[in-house]
Amino acid sequence: MANKNNKGLGRGIEALFADNSVDPDVETVIDIKLDQIRPNPYQPRQKFDQAALKDLAHSIEKSGVFQPIIVRQPDPEVSRYEILAGERRVRASKLIKNETIPAIVREVTEPQMMEIAVMENLQREDLTPLEEAEAYEMLMSNLNLTQAQVSSRLGKSRPYIANYLRLLGLPKQVKELLQKKRLSMGQARTLLSLKDRSQMVSLANRAADGKMTVRALEGVVSKMNGQAAAKPKKRIKQKSPYLRAGENVLQEKFGTQVTISESNKEAGQGKIEIEYMSDDDLSRILEILDVHLD
């Protein structure tokens, strides 16, 4: 029998999958055919360590599956199940050609299923930076959560969430390097501060091929940004310490390049320009400004 748990999101989620414990008065472990099970469609992890899966498969072949997986049955009339917890055990069981796997069937809503997938993987801490960023973005867009709500729910600071979301604005080629772990999170964040976006891919490849440290990459980016600033031939007025300090504060707040310029110094007039690199990045900045366009 499925556990009729109607708790909401957040802490109530933990009870759904925390330790895979079984209460014999409420739920039962049953054997389900592996060909009737499909992955959680909201699974943020894109790649699984094949060597680790083979080790797990060997253990299962020798000793069996100690912990049942947890699944939900979207349609009670159809013998099809979606994994809530235990995809590695399913994959390993398939490697050794097992036909069934012990499982617990629980009633879980679509939003709960999504949050379970994200929270379980974040707790395991084996997602790539890009997978983690996509997991946060998925929670925000599909569950209509703000950065602050995601921060509170997952126990992470808002700047931490914002820094990961910024990775979604990287060019596709740079994302691939990050996903393949040829670039680190620190290197990716440094590349985001590059003013001339057209040079980002080539610099990312240089950093990956040369195994450049974050400190060394920061030096290259700083030099390239200085060259970009020197390109205009027209005379650039020296900014006041007040404006430079304002730019620094805003750049820290928004996590992107911010420029403050004066148009009429006597009247105290000017403009503030905030860069964004994608629609997702613009949404992130609007969220910080507490601007809602719906």
Which are the catalytic amino acids?
87
Per-residue burial over 261-294, b if 16 or more Cβ lie within 10 Å, else e, is: eeeeeeeeeeeeebbbbeebbbbbbebbeeeeee
Instruction: Note whether 68 and 20 are within 8 A (CB).
Output: yes
Place of tokens 């000017």: 270
Whole-angstrom Cα distance, residue 112 to residue 96? 31
Which of the 8 DSSP states describes residue 156?
A: -
Place of tokens 């300090």: 245
Output the six-digit token pair for 93: 């069981």
Whole-angstrom Cα distance, residue 93 to residue 100? 8
Instruction: Note whether 60 and 92 are within 8 A (CB).
Output: yes
Whole-angstrom Cα distance, residue 261 to residue 247? 10
Whole-angstrom Cα distance, residue 84 to residue 73? 10
Which of the 8 DSSP states describes residue 198?
A: G
Q: Which residues pair with 103 in a beta bridge?
A: 30, 69
